[in-house]
Amino acid sequence: MAEAHLSVFRGTPDAPGTFVEFDVPVEEGMVVLDALHWIQANEAPDLAVRWNCKAAKCGSCSAEVNGRPSLTCKTRLSDFEDGETITVEPMRAFPLIRDLVTDVSWNYEVNKRIPPFQPPADKPQESWRWQQEDIERVQEFRKCIECFLCQDVCHVLRNHETERPFMGPRFLVRSAGLEMHPIDTADRTAHLKDEGGIGYCNITKCCTEVCPEHIKITDNAIIPLKERVADKYYDPIQMAWRKLTGKGSADGGQADSGAPVFPGRPERTAPADTETAGKTAPAPPAGDASTNGDPD
C-alpha cells in the first residue's frame, strides 16, 4: 500500500474530542508510531504522543489501535488491509491529558505502596546460590516494561467496577516477582488481599492477551498469588486458629487505608466496543470462591 489512512483522536479533558483523518505515505516496515511521527512532522506539529525508544523496550507508546490496546511501535502498518482505516486513540482506562497521552500517574502511586524487596538479615549475600531454572519464573515477571496495556484492558479498572482499591494486573505481576524471588522474606499477602484487592480479579485473562512481553500474567502470577492469599486467610484451620488466638489476622478491608483508588476516566463516554458483562460482580469460577468478591 502506498498510503495508510489513519483516524487519530485529538482532544483535551476540557472539550469533547474528535477524530482527525490523515493520509500517510508508507515505507516498508513502518509501524503506527512512524505514521504518528510523520503526522507530527508534516501535518500536526503539536499532536501529543508519548514515546521513547521505538524498540518495544520502554513501554511508553501504548494506545488503542482499532480498539486493541497496543504498543504503537510494534504495530506494523502492513498488518492492516489495503484501504482499511487505522483508528488510533488513547488508552481508555486512564484520564486524558491530550490527544494520545493519558495520565498514568495512578500506577506509580500504587507501586509505591507495595512492600519492597527484603533480603534475609541472617543470610550473607556471599552465600546466595540460585539455580537458573529456579529463577526463570521471577525473570518472566521482571520482563514487564510497564506499558500499562494490561491495566488498560482490565475490565475492573476500565469499567471502574469497584470503588475499593484494586492494583490491577501490572502490580499483581510485580508483587509476584517479589513474592517468588528466591530470597525475599517479606509477606505481601495482607497487602494483596486488602490494598491490592486481588479478589476482584476474576481471571478473564484479557491482560495476558495484550501483554507485549508475553508474560502469562493470569496463569503464572495472579492465580498462584490468589492461592497464597486463600491459603493464608481462608483456610478453615487457620481461620479457627486466628479466632482462638486473636493472632495473625491482618484484618482486611481497611476502608480508609489511604490506598489510591483508581480514578477512572469519567469524562469520555463509555466505550461501546468492550465486551464485558456489565457492572455486576462476575460469577466466581469454581474452586476459587473464597478469593473472589469484596475483600471484606
Partner 1 sequence: MSDAPERYPHDVLVIGAGGAGLRAAIEAADKGASVGLVCKSLLGKAHTVMAEGGMAAALGHVDDRDSWQVHFRDTMVGGKLLNNSRMAELHAKEAPDRVRELELWGAVFDRTRDGRILQRPFGGHTYPRLAHVGDRTGLEMIRTLQDRAVASGIKVYMECTITHLLSRPDRVKGAFGYWRTTGRPVVFPAKSIVLATGGIGRAYQVTSNSWEYSGDGQALAYLAGAELMDMEFVQFHPTGMVWPPGVRGLLVTEAVRGEGGILRNKDGERFMWKYLPEDRRNEYAATDDEASRWVEAQSAGRTTDARRPPELSTRDNVARAIYTEVREGRGSPHGGVFLDISYLPPDHVRRKLPSMYEQFKELADVDITTGPMEVGPTTHYMMGGIRVDAETGATTRPGLYAVGEVSAGMHGANRLGGNSLSDLLVFGQRTGQAAAASATEQAEVPYVDPQAIQTAARELGAPFEAGSAASEDPYRLHEALQATMGTLVGIFRTEDDLDQAIRELTDLRARWDQIRIGGGRAYNPGWGLVYEVRNMLIVSEAVARSAKARRESRGAHSRIDFPDPDPAWAKKNTVARLAGDKMKIATTPLPVLPDELRQLISTE
Binding-site string for partner 1 from residue 190 to residue 229, where x marks contact by CB under 8 A and - marks none = ----------------------------------------
Q: Which residues contact 108 (CB under 8 A, 6 or more apart)?
A: none
Distance of alpha carbon 60 from alpha carbon 30, whole angstroms: 18
Distance of alpha carbon 162 from alpha carbon 262, whole angstroms: 9
Q: Which residues contact 50 (CB under 8 A, 6 or more apart)?
A: 60, 61, 62, 100, 101
Tell me if 29 contacts partner 1 by CB under 8 A: yes
Residue 95 CA: distances (Å) to CA of 3, 112, 144, 217, 289: 32, 20, 22, 24, 33
Which residue, 147 or 153, is less far from partner 1 as judged by CB? 147
Angle, helices 168-179 vs 132-141, to 10°: value is 160
Which residue, 27 or 273, is less far from partner 1 as judged by CB? 27
- Determine phi and psi for 71, rounding to 5 degrees: -80, 125
Binding-site string for partner 1 from residue 42 to residue 81, where x marks contact by CB under 8 A and - marks none = x--xxxxxxxxxxxxxxxx-------------x-x-----
Residue choice 64, 89, 146, 161 for contact with partner 1 (CB under 8 A): 146
Closest contact distance (angstroms) between CB of 135 and partner 1 is 5
Considering only 23-31, 82-90, 235-243, 279-287, which stretch makes contact with partner 1 by CB under 8 A? Answer: 23-31
Beta carbons of 211 and 218 less than 8 angstroms apart: no
Which residues bind to partner 1, rule: CB under 8 A?
12, 27-31, 34, 40-42, 45-60, 74, 76, 97-99, 101, 103-105, 108, 111-112, 116-117, 119, 125, 128-132, 135, 138-139, 142-143, 145-146, 178, 181-182, 184
